[in-house]
Structure 1
Amino acid sequence: MPPSTAGLTDAILALAFIGDLSMGRSTDHSRRAACLAGWLARECGADLAAQNHARATALLRWSGCTANASGFAELLGDDVAAREAMMAQTLPPLSTQTQSLIVPLALIHCEVSGDIAATMGMPARVVDALRNVFERFDGKGMPGGHEGDAIPETVFFVNVASDLEILSHAHGRDTARAFVRSQSDAKYPARLVETALRHADHWFDELASGDLDTPTWQLAGHHRHADVPLSLLADVTELKLPWLAGFSRRTADLASRTAQCLALDTDTQAQLHAAALLHGIGRAALPNRLWETDGKLSADQWEKVRLVPYWSARAAKQIDGLRLTAELASYAYERLDGSGYFRGVAGPALSTPQRILAAAVAFEALLADRPWRRAHSFDEAAGVLSREAGDGKFDAEVVAAIVATAQGQTLRPRAAAPGTGSLLSPREIDVLRQISTGLSNKEAARALALSPSTVRTHVESIFRKLDCSTRAAATLKALTAGLL
């Protein structure tokens, strides 16, 4: 079966969708900001390639925000709401100490978003802009404190556009314009501010009319036919919750192999594999503290959880190239007796692929550790799923096929990217596997019966060999290289 992939433009739009959810924004925010960034670049005399670089950077701007979600959750409580309020300038003033703790989170964001763009083969100007996207013209930005011409111009196109888009929605056009004016030669160069303010009203009207120029965008550039593995979208989403790393990959493998076991055609197998990789993108919309709640969820919390597959369905409506895949993905939590969500459909309304996806997600979840419980053994998980099939929640034939498939599978490590796996020693891979789940050096040392100083030495070596400086970036590179 060929790998599950998406066209480059569709992958960029999907990452924008995930990023908008993670930041508490409407799911068209990044597209709107990309329109503004492209228009501003054009009016400043940038050529077509530079306009498209600005659009791509605006769409990928929030792609690294899942990687630091756990840090924001620890710092501010609700990682989604806090970041939404921060960008809308409605968050109460932060203490000097808290502000200092945000700097390393910005580093994580910039490194990961840059790595995502590089992995997809985006132009160097886009990668460089993403690595510097929180810098300011006056040198008071982060994480590097660069200033003036040392910052790619694309960064300023995108930041002016994003601020105009967010603040006009939150506070109205006048407030948005006033803020941008106040940041002339501070957050962005004065010449960009003058151009933006001269055209702002016309641009706001264009956005309001819905008459956007998205069909003319050439985000893929010379790589318009390049494909991006859907596993990248799954990995980026799962960076939000370190204990979830690799879950969608495992589910995709089980679902497609179960379809093969049930003699479904290869197209259906491929469709299931792809849908399983996308089934969890809606988790990005919910705060980490909800996912890590110990004990029974309240009715209000459950209502939020029920939105996870809804967001997959919304992605199906907004990204043409992923329409069928995301639509199937949105059935991941339906149940045969109608007790599932978000649609609550039952019986004959659920196709065989939809039944396979739902059962595969449930089975893999049972086999995995979660913050509120330990993983079930294989026999325990099979027993739970079989009992629920007996109660009418799952298709008994599908459950039998899933258990048989899972029982017979040989777990083999995926082939590492050329030159990557051979860089790391077996012990470094052991350490990487531990820290990728969110364990501290001390916790990883305890799990591996090593000293914390030895683990720290291995972590430093991993960072050096993988050319990264944060655990989130190391985790993403390890997943895409097949090391985890």
Structure 2
Amino acid sequence: MPMQGEETITVEDAVQVLALVGDLSMGLPPDHSIRTARLAARLAQENGDAVDACSATRLVALLRWSGSTATASGFANLLGDDVAGRLAMVTRALPGNPNLTLPNVLPLAHTQCEVAGDIAVSLQLPPAVEESLRHLFGGARRGDMQDVLFAPNIPRSVFYVRLAGDLEMLAPAHGTGGALRLIGERAGVKYPVSLVQRLAPHAQAWLDELGEPTCAADYSGHDRLVALSIVADVIELKLPWLAGYSRRVAALARRSAGLAGMLALEERPLVRAALLHGIGRVTVPNPVWTRPGKLAPADWLKVRQVPFWTARAGAQLPAIGADAALGSLVYERLDGSGYYRKLRADRLGMQERLLATAAAWTALRAPRPWRAAHGEAAAATLLTAQAAAGRFDRHAVAAVIAAAQAARSPAPVRDALLSEREIEVLRHISLGETSREAARAMRISPASVHSHVETIFEKLRSRSRPAMTLKALARGLI
């Protein structure tokens, strides 16, 4: 249940947003998961499944790539470009890569399944959805990427979604006939031969006429409210050092709004925009975000597209339309030097000005791979100078600095499950620090950090750092 005062979104709308985030993270078209969900549901219906099973299949397909942000760093290390590389990999257009060995890929597949399953739990989706997501790319009980066909512990939805997803991804690149040929090569390995035979006669018609299946969005609890912050949390798994960034921007914007003289009515969309403004960030390959020194023009072009994709997400999903539109203005500047629209002061209201300032302050105060965090005085000096130069609004800068100073010493977080030392370790590790780096910062041994991490994994019932981070954010520990 969302906490009192927390911004919310319906379960169905959250699923839709997370589906789009997953698509963009994989380099796929922003409607890929929607189309796959319709195909998978059609396949379930054709195979005689009941409405509940069809609904579960649809949800599994929509959340298929929801854990992909959690493996972006790993695939960037393997492929060099986590976005284009994974797109080429799943569409079978990737040239031979010596890094794509089972020992390298399997842990990433398990992490992706774990995070997707945890997302289903957070959204309180039916157990069948969680179970399918945890098996979608192979189960931990076998030593490879494929599960025994029709094994009693593997939900049928897994095979529907695998098959529908492959058809939807391969058809644009290889044509429907070529896609069915490639699918046929995996029949009996990735999905049952009989299921491929059932799909083949309908493949072209279903691709041409992808209407909503009868089981769409009518499952129990689809209109229940959940915390909107889950979207921000999943997005920020892409870059470990970003964990909790949008939450901090939202909290600072909320505190600053009153000091800036804004009405309570104006505050809520500001907070929601802060939580959603990073959607477009998943379209940029991880190496761009971690590259030291000045970015090349090609890299800057990708970075400047971030707010464009955030705005496009809002245009595609009405439930977040206005919030994403506001969030897409976070990098605009009063003198027209921002991006991507290059708006000037006369087009930017107080909401936009305050959001931009809160995001800039929060970024300055946090470490990045290419620089250390700025101290409070240094950040205030930088923003004040930028306001004097006409880039930021003076009143917004004053309000943000005052709000940040008022919250300088937050009360320590206490948790019934974790000790204070474990919470401290968790905060370091969740931001991407190695055990050695965390040990140095905390002045303890790397072995002690490792021991604490193992205990945290056990207590939070997590097997990977991204899953641990997602649960820690939900508990307010980081």
For the criterion TM > 0.5, the same-fold answer is: yes
Give yes or no for the alignment of 1:475 onto 2:463: no
Secondary structure at 2:377 match in 1: helix
1:26 to 29, 32, 35: 29
1:82-131 deviation line (CA, Å, top 9, x unaligned): 11000010112343873321111111101011001111101101000000
Corresponding residue for 1:179?
Answer: 182
Corresponding residue for 2:400?
Answer: 402
Secondary structure at 2:238 match in 1: coil
Give yes or no for the alignment of 1:464 onto 2:466: no
Answer yes or no: is the 8 Å Cα contact 1:35–1:213 preserved in 2: yes
Shift of 1:182: 2.4
2:67 to 64, 68, 72: 64
Corresponding residue for 1:436?
Answer: 430
Give the Cα–Cα distance (whole angstroms) in 2 for the partners of residues 361 and 80 of structure 1: 25
1:303 to 290, 297, 301: 301
The 5 A counterparts of 1:153-232 are 153-207=156-210, 212-213=211-212, 217-219=215-217, 221-232=219-230
The amino acid of 2:16's aligned partner reads L
Corresponding residue for 1:369?
Answer: 367
Answer yes or no: is the 8 Å Cα contact 2:364–2:379 preserved in 1: yes
2:52 to 46, 49, 54: 49
Shift of 1:157: 0.6
Give yes or no for the alignment of 1:338 onto 2:343: no
Shift of 1:224: 2.5
The amino acid of 1:359's aligned partner reads T
Question: Given the superposition, is the C-alpha separation of residues 42 and 102 from structure 1 closer, same or farther in structure 2, using an over 3 Å criterion?
Answer: same
Corresponding residue for 2:384?
Answer: 386
Corresponding residue for 1:119?
Answer: 122
Equivalences, count: 473
Answer yes or no: is the 8 Å Cα contact 2:110–2:138 preserved in 1: no
Answer yes or no: is the 8 Å Cα contact 1:335–1:345 preserved in 2: yes
Corresponding residue for 2:243?
Answer: 245
Give the Cα–Cα distance (whole angstroms) in 2 for the partners of residues 16 and 249 of structure 1: 21
Secondary structure at 1:297 match in 2: coil
Query: Quick check: 441-450 or 10-19, which moved more?
Result: 441-450
Corresponding residue for 1:90?
Answer: 93
Shift of 1:414: 8.8
Secondary structure at 2:209 match in 1: helix
Secondary structure at 1:341 match in 2: coil
Give the Cα–Cα distance (whole angstroms) in 2 for the partners of residues 371 and 272 of structure 1: 28
Give the Cα–Cα distance (whole angstroms) in 1 for the partners of residues 408 and 375 of structure 2: 17
The amino acid of 2:13's aligned partner reads D
Query: Quick check: 355-364 or 437-446, which moved more?
Result: 437-446
Question: Given the superposition, is the C-alpha separation of residues 71 and 220 from structure 1 closer, same or farther in structure 2, using an over 3 Å criterion?
Answer: farther
Question: Given the superposition, is the C-alpha separation of residues 429 and 460 from structure 1 closer, same or farther in structure 2, using an over 3 Å criterion?
Answer: same
Corresponding residue for 1:81?
Answer: 84
The amino acid of 1:427's aligned partner reads R
Give the Cα–Cα distance (whole angstroms) in 1 for the partners of residues 148 and 121 of structure 2: 21
Secondary structure at 1:221 match in 2: coil
Shift of 1:257: 1.4
The 5 A counterparts of 1:261-340 are 261-340=259-338
Answer yes or no: is the 8 Å Cα contact 1:134–1:141 preserved in 2: no
The alignment's TM-score, normalised by the length of structure 1, stands at 0.94
Secondary structure at 1:228 match in 2: strand
Give the Cα–Cα distance (whole angstroms) in 2 for the partners of residues 282 and 64 of structure 1: 16
Corresponding residue for 1:453?
Answer: 447
The 5 A counterparts of 1:93-104 are 93-95=96-98, 98-104=101-107
1:289-310 deviation line (CA, Å, top 9, x unaligned): 0000101111111111011111
Give yes or no for the alignment of 1:359 onto 2:357: yes
Shift of 1:330: 0.7
1:254-306 deviation line (CA, Å, top 9, x unaligned): 11211111222222111111100111111111111000010111111111101
Answer yes or no: is the 8 Å Cα contact 2:78–2:100 preserved in 1: no
Give the Cα–Cα distance (whole angstroms) in 1 for the partners of residues 30 and 215 of structure 2: 19
Shift of 1:413: 5.7
Between the two proteins, what is the percent identity of the paired residues? 47
Question: Given the superposition, is the C-alpha separation of residues 37 and 223 from structure 1 closer, same or farther in structure 2, using an over 3 Å criterion?
Answer: same
The amino acid of 2:26's aligned partner reads M
CA RMSD in angstroms comes to 1.9
Give the Cα–Cα distance (whole angstroms) in 1 for the partners of residues 454 and 126 of structure 2: 29
Give the Cα–Cα distance (whole angstroms) in 1 for the partners of residues 354 and 99 of structure 2: 51
Give the Cα–Cα distance (whole angstroms) in 2 for the partners of residues 324 and 6 of structure 1: 13
